[in-house]
Amino acid sequence: MRRILKNWMLGLLITGYLIGTTGCGMLNQNLGIIGLNSGETLSREVASDRLNRLYSRIEPKYQAPRIDGAAVIDDDLTLILPDISAYPFVVNPSTDQYLTVYGNLENRGVGYRAWLLEAAEAFNASGATIAGVPISIGLRNIPSGLAADFIAQDKYKPDLYIPDTALWGDVLRAKGVVLQQLSSSLAGNVSGVALKKQPGDPPDRNIGQIIEKVLEGKLRLGYANPATDSAGFSFVFAVLKHFGANDLFGETAISKFRDFQDKIPYVAYDATQLRHSASSGLLDGFVLDYATFCSMESLLADYDFIHCGMAQDMPAYLIGTVQTLKTEIAESFVAFCLSSAQQAVAREKHFGTMDFLPPSQEPTSAEVAQVLEVFRQEKNGSRDITAVFIADVSGSMEGEPLLMLKASLARAASVIDVNANIGLITFSETVTVMVPIAKFDATQKAYFVTAARSLSAGGGTAMYNAIMVGHSLLLDAQKLNPNTKLMLFVLTDGETNRGLVFDDCEAIIKGLQIPVYTIGYNADIDELERVSEINEATTMDAESDDIIHKLQNLFNSLT
């Protein structure tokens, strides 16, 4: 009798799922979707079929896009830079007379962080003086690309700039910034590729062979956005040099680079995301610097390092016209870093331990700056981008979170490539398609901005319903444009309390292989990270002081 009753109740539940009321409702909220297993692996075809079944129950609303008179769009692509307070001193000045130094400690491994920090701290502890006046330095931990943006825009300028690579000095010179180089290398280093070892690999592999294998589709390689990541910058330069030995930016080199980008699984937002992708097995190799490679014991047994011929060895530059005393402090600090004692520490941290032949002919500053422009134009290869933005307008977003979200969308409109295909949907308890996917021309951009500025908050949060609708819109768009690259951006607080849940959608998201980038506003970041990590995307915390700048870099690297 119990078995009969159990089967009868199960039949009612299944019937309720198949012919239930509109939307996913309380059945899904409390019990999940019967028949789905978050741990299973689905083919793209099966995942698409299950998505269609879910979509038919969600029934999103459609709002006709409109343009109002206030939809003025700022197309000035000048970076919105964060406040310098987001990058406090990691080594505080200890005297009245001191020097401000920008150096990069991010994403370079334990060894790199330890050496630069120890050198700065040791200098301040040394009791250094000039003409009897005690001196010290204040070190801010700022990524090299961002520091270059600060300097180029004359927003916050250091006295001394120590980027990862001289390429950033060339970028600044190309923009008219006056630099005085005090040292070409404080700590020797080189960029290259960590390549997973395979049986039968020749011992003398070189960067040219690696590039050609990627081009042939025989090697899955990843690198981080060269506009922010120094190793990525060096690598893109090396790729262009390989394809255009005699004409770096000629038609052949650009065409080959475009083909090369078609074979790259994706360009990571930063080095942290890139390494996560490598550890998950998505990549056969990834780009980084040698000192970092050596400091990561998890890599040494299973990977080889192949340098790409580009130095990444921390030059030192005075910026602009610097007072005589500060110039002397800078010279004193550089000499301290180059002392035998500090260089011995650097070697212990794997700096200066790889010999390689630098380029026989140094590029001009204009050529170096042009490398980033080529990447910006050709980063998506022969494919265009189709993306859907999903905005949370539930009641929990009321106030400052919604204001920040609207500002983020408005700023996104000014940096998204006009050749991208963009749509916008919102969600609370229901899902609304505010702007259907279309080419991001002036009209579509105006639709997008008008919709973003009109957002208001209220109701529950059906985030996963919206994510499923976004996937459905993207797949429909891909039927019309099969070669396009698909992606989702979800801007939310992550507090799902209606409709589908993570376990209902995980296998579908994984099977469709569309990256889901999440931006959290006063959010449950752990929940958002679960979503983004499914297909090697990234999560950002909008509470960060420099979120607008980070978003701009993200959109610039992807769209």
Q: Mean pLDDT for the chain?
A: 86
Prediction pTM value: 0.81
Give residue 108's pLDDT.
52
- pLDDT above 70 (res 286): yes
d(CA 460, CA 98): 54
Between the CA atoms of 258, 261, 263 and 266, what dihedral angle is there, to the nearest 10 degrees? -160
Give the tokens for residue 287. Answer: 């780009």
Instruction: Please state the rounded mean pLDDT for residues 195-224.
Output: 89
Q: What percent of the chain has pLDDT over 70?
A: 87
Cβ-based neighbour number of residue 331 at 10 Å: 16
For residue 257, give the nearest of 276, 273, 241 by alpha carbon.
241
Q: Which of 35-49, 321-335, 383-397, 514-528 has the lowest mean pLDDT?
A: 35-49
DSSP string, 29-94: HHH--TT--TT----HHHHHHHHHHHHHHH--EE------TT----------PPPGGGS-EEE---
- Confidence band, pLDDT 50/70/90 cuts, at residue 2: very low
Q: Higher confidence at residue 148 or residue 357?
A: 148
C-beta separation of 427 from 435 below 8 A: no
193: helix, coil or strand? strand
**Dihedral sign of CA atoms 89, 91, 94, 96 in order:** negative
Long-range contact pairs involving 295-299 (C-beta distance under 8 Å, separation at least 24): 295/109, 295/110, 295/111, 295/112, 295/349, 295/350, 296/109, 299/194
For residue 472, give the nearest of 25, 8, 47 by alpha carbon.
47
Instruction: Please state the rounded mean pLDDT for residues 342-369.
Output: 86
Q: Higher confidence at residue 280 or residue 242?
A: 242
Over the stretch 480-532, which tens digit does the pLDDT of each residue have?
A: 999 999 999 999 988 888 899 999 999 999 999 999 999 988 878 888 999 99
Domains and CATH numbers, the chain: 44-76+383-558 (3.40.50.410), 92-189+313-351 (3.40.190.10), 203-308 (3.40.190.10)
